[in-house]
Structure 1
């Protein structure tokens, strides 16, 4: 049985000539397999995020950090934040959130949060759009809605759906996001899944 208590988090650093990234590692003394799987996933995503921020033929310096969003009830959620500087050009930031089931060590994709055939894409796309309109956010005309592999994280019994820079809005808007209380979408939620766990 997975402990509902927080896991221990350590901060490690990855440093090269062009990258200085502080990232987390978990310590789970009673389950080395899950510990290893989570730490490998975090490390691989940190490297991928850093690589995605590098621009060929332009001197790029990447700094990175992380934010812990949820660490209870068998669910660990964190966001890796990478920031790239290119000299005189606009700096660029990317956020990659990881949402782990501590019973398996698996990073759970967005589509696995919901029941099959629940029409979650259409329902959540409309909920997110309504929330963004309340924030008076200037969106591109072709708002695509949410995707099966949508960026998200879990915090304070809420599902936070967010979009990358330039994905649905101009750079000046930053990272558009919508906070959806989990209790408001329980009819969509997969029983025993991450969202179900954090509200039990």
Structure 2
């Protein structure tokens, strides 16, 4: 009986180690640097976490969908190979590429784990592109949560978030969401693809280009949990 009690109490506990990979063939070559958490053990939850992180990294490194990588090392090799192929075609115009990906655990309680991944990719052009992804996990269900799985009703939460967004961005309540210069498609407010649990509340993160120009950078809306717990399938009670 004591063993069963101990197992129930610790089944959702996690331990992590750092997964650090850096690859650069020469001084003037392209660089790939990865530093993300790796869940330890062979549990279903650890596998879900590591698979989600791996898939996100591969998606950032992959430019040729016909040669989809099966793991992070293949993704790195594909990224470097794509650059080399470009350099062979245009040797005088090809600056070395760079991919830097870092990950951190930004929230964890008994039910929820959120990992934030930050990437910087430079593949030519005037500037590189910085991106953030939030990976939210239900520790009891041992799976990653899609955006719609975060809310009891995504429609109701979207309406609530729109009101907060307008207040934050000084948009009149009855005005069109794009009336002050935002670029929501179809002139309708919508949630960002990136939403993550943080210690300070639920963070809505709009990527550069998602609803505004690149010069405007990322647009964020942070909502304390006590204000929105009624909308969340997994509320956070302090």
Fold shared, TM-score > 0.5 on shorter chain: yes
Q: Does 1:114 align with 2:151?
A: yes
Residue 164 of structure 1: how far off its partner (Å): 0.8
Looking at structure 2, the residues matched to 36 and 187 of structure 1 have their Cα atoms a distance apart, in angstroms, of 30
The residue correspondences of 1:52-63 to structure 2 (distance < 5 A) are: 57=86, 59-63=96-100
Q: Structure 2 length normalisation: TM-score?
A: 0.67
Q: So what's the TM-score if we normalise by structure 1? A: 0.78
Deviation at 1:185, TM superposition (A): 1.9
User: 2:190 is matched with which residue: 131, 134, 146?
Assistant: 146
Counterpart of 2:122 (choices 85, 90, 101) is 85
**CA pair 33-88 structure 1, distance change in 2 beyond 3 A:** closer
Alignment RMSD: 3.0
Moved over 6 A (4+): none
Partners of 1:118 and 1:62 in 2: CA distance: 36
Alpha carbons 1:126, 1:145 under 8 Å: kept = no
Q: Which is greater in Rg? A: 2
For structure 2, the 5+ residue unaligned runs are 1-7, 25-29, 64-78, 87-93, 172-179
Query: Contact conserved, 1:132 with 1:178, CA < 8 A, in 2?
Result: no
C-alpha deviation, 1:93, in angstroms: 0.9
Which structure 1 residue ranges, 5 or more long, are not aligned? none
Provide the rounded CA distance (Å) in 2 between the counterparts of 1:129 and 1:97: 23
Deviation at 1:4, TM superposition (A): 9.6
| Higher relative contact order, structure no. (Cα contacts within 8 Å, ≥ 6 residues apart) | 1
